[in-house]
Structure 1
């Protein structure tokens, strides 16, 4: 049963900038008290042209059964590749079922989201994200932005496919303490399974693009990825706020599992559609890094999250990222006279730095990043 509960966020009240430093003055917003207040803080109110549509049409997306593909069924491979190719050229996302992920593990992972975000704020702040970093606990990305704040809390942590290290388990123990080893074990296992699933999907993307099954799998074999727990508290003015603003993920591939509360919306053919949660399905979407790898053939998916005034919403997001040493450059087969080179070579850490220190990720991140690289070069 989903029950709303007290939660606290910190919002920047005012940002003061001078030649020496940036100072953020913070105020506490207690969601337990919010129903008694007529308005939500102005920092969380989005401009009229970006305000959410709370009753958008539902996009009917037939889930793609990948069991046959993963097991090597040649007939299933052809059918799945065709469906994925069409989806990724059009809007950059699709749903997968029969993925082989244990539902008990999914239930555990969702339960631990509740356990973490219902803790006292002082406990969660043991993992507080530092300014300029992408991992840790964050309340609406405080310290980075002073307007259009997302109505959410997140916990992000690094995952390495290096089998010699248990990066996720070590993170929880080192940051939160020995009592959180169980958290670390569950999310370590979850990330390992998501990494393997991602590599399988990369085989699918490689075949659908015509560069072979192994090309992108090999590229991401030693991935250094990011896992994020998303928590969207109830908002008594959901028509004014957004859980996450319109954006395309700067990463390569996102594998998302939602709870049973609606909130995910995608932009298709010039309008917003809702994606209804399916307990047995993962939402897969292309990110900017893979759009660059595909030489712009596959589109980074534009999406956002809305909130509601009744219950909290949770989701698990695994962001596949290449190893830091990998140069993001498309296969030669995808560069033609009809489709010339679109984006410059780059490494994932440079794009990550750009989004953490110089640019708020939106629908034009990759274009802005390309210009930034060119300016640096000049």
Structure 2
């Protein structure tokens, strides 16, 4: 249990060596500017305008923020409150879910509800991330909710409602993307969207944020991600060979494209690399919903995206992709090389 950053970091003033990233990976002392161009999309506007704005955002950034999305602001606040309560519970309560077992890593994202520190393979990591992470599957809800934390006592009720509404928002985003790509209705059916994983990240205050990371540079392995980043800044995206900060906006969601959607679109959409930085004055908690294909689903470029050209990616099973993703440690370029069809 002593491995949890949130447990021991409260009394440390020096960053342990096994949390210090190599010079070319660490944030350093140079301030990263907030990006003023990341699209902010109002979902209450006309559908045709929304579709075009989302498509443009997915092609240029792979990221966008949404407002007027239909998820209750009170529910967003209540969910953030209850997950923060979870991380503030006594150690003996959190210990019931704590694990450093690598068999419950991203290779097997639907095994159970677990609390990790750093990545999910702590025992075999050379450098640890400055974060604790609670993750659990949440779709179908009635199959998984019994494995969620029993405390706080309202966790299951509130987070259950949240996971349902965020899943509906995710499917709505996919439908708008489908329309923008010109794919047939129903293209993003149960095989492509049958998995949903909730990942709750807690990044405690850090004595030296310039040397470490909450999460290193990576692109998401799934289909689409919806993030509630709260009020504390920490998300950065990598674009045009530079890091750009994503400003937290009250009750907005950050939506980003995963590897699977990039491949299904035959590379038309972009799966953007991003990272999480820490700070020395505030804890940061984020709630991430990943929509995943079912494990045995075959992923390949959609036929309308190919036309008369050669597809850019070869077919594969999603479960096999997750193994490669873990082996390559989320390195987007290395992963893409495995599946890209060379000219």
TM-score by length of 1: 0.81
- Report the counterpart of residue 240 of structure 1 in structure 2: 211
Report the alpha carbon displacement of residue 217 of structure 1 after superposing the two structures with TM: 4.8
CA distance in 2, matches of 1:78, 1:153: 41
RMSD: 2.5
Assess, with a 3 A threshold, how the Cα gap between structure 1 residues 40 and 96 changes in structure 2: closer, same or farther: same
Report the alpha carbon displacement of residue 287 of structure 1 after superposing the two structures with TM: 0.7
Matched, 1:148 2:127: yes
Match of 1:136 among 114, 117, 129: 114
- Report the counterpart of residue 99 of structure 1 in structure 2: 69
Match of 1:184 among 156, 176, 181: 156
Preserved CA contact (<8 Å) 1:203 1:217: no
Give CA-to-partner distance per residue, 1:298-337, whole Å, 9 cap, x none: 1111100110001100111000112234221222111144
Matched, 1:51 2:35: no
Matched, 1:329 2:300: yes
Between 136-145 and 109-118, the greater mean CA deviation after superposition: 136-145
- Report the counterpart of residue 16 of structure 1 in structure 2: none
Preserved CA contact (<8 Å) 1:244 1:306: yes
Counterpart mapping for 1:68-147 below 5 A:
68=45, 76-129=46-99, 130-134=101-105, 135-141=113-119, 142-147=121-126
TM-score by length of 2: 0.88
Higher-Rg structure is: 1
- Report the counterpart of residue 145 of structure 2 in structure 1: 169
Assess, with a 3 A threshold, how the Cα gap between structure 1 residues 184 and 168 changes in structure 2: closer, same or farther: farther
CA distance in 1, matches of 2:243, 2:58: 17
Give CA-to-partner distance per residue, 1:82-131, whole Å, 9 cap, x none: 22222211221111111000111111111112111112333222112432
- Report the counterpart of residue 307 of structure 1 in structure 2: 278
Preserved CA contact (<8 Å) 2:238 2:244: yes
Report the alpha carbon displacement of residue 245 of structure 1 after superposing the two structures with TM: 0.4
Give the strand-richer structure, 1 or 2. Answer: 1
CA distance in 2, matches of 1:239, 1:367: 29
Assess, with a 3 A threshold, how the Cα gap between structure 1 residues 275 and 247 changes in structure 2: closer, same or farther: same
Matched, 1:261 2:236: no
CA distance in 1, matches of 2:84, 2:175: 34
CA distance in 2, matches of 1:106, 1:125: 26
- SS of residue in 1 equivalent to 2:10: coil
Preserved CA contact (<8 Å) 1:238 1:306: yes
Report the alpha carbon displacement of residue 270 of structure 1 after superposing the two structures with TM: 1.4
CA distance in 1, matches of 2:138, 2:18: 32
CA distance in 2, matches of 1:155, 1:198: 21
- What stretches of structure 1 move > 4 A for 4+ residues in a row? none
Give CA-to-partner distance per residue, 1:151-185, whole Å, 9 cap, x none: 00000001224xxx51342112xxx44x5552122
Assess, with a 3 A threshold, how the Cα gap between structure 1 residues 44 and 100 changes in structure 2: closer, same or farther: same
- Report the counterpart of residue 110 of structure 2 in structure 1: none
Preserved CA contact (<8 Å) 1:202 1:217: no
- Report the counterpart of residue 32 of structure 1 in structure 2: 10
Counterpart mapping for 1:5-20 below 5 A:
9-10=3-4
Give CA-to-partner distance per residue, 1:248-296, whole Å, 9 cap, x none: 0111111001111110001112111101100121100001111111111
CA distance in 2, matches of 1:112, 1:359: 34
- Report the counterpart of residue 108 of structure 2 in structure 1: none
Q: How many residues in Structure 1 have an aligned counterpart in Structure 2? A: 331
CA distance in 1, matches of 2:191, 2:334: 22
Preserved CA contact (<8 Å) 2:325 2:335: no
Any stretches of 5+ residues in structure 2 without a counterpart?
106-112
Matched, 1:362 2:334: no
Preserved CA contact (<8 Å) 1:167 1:188: no
Match of 2:41 among 38, 52, 64: 64
- Report the counterpart of residue 205 of structure 1 in structure 2: 177
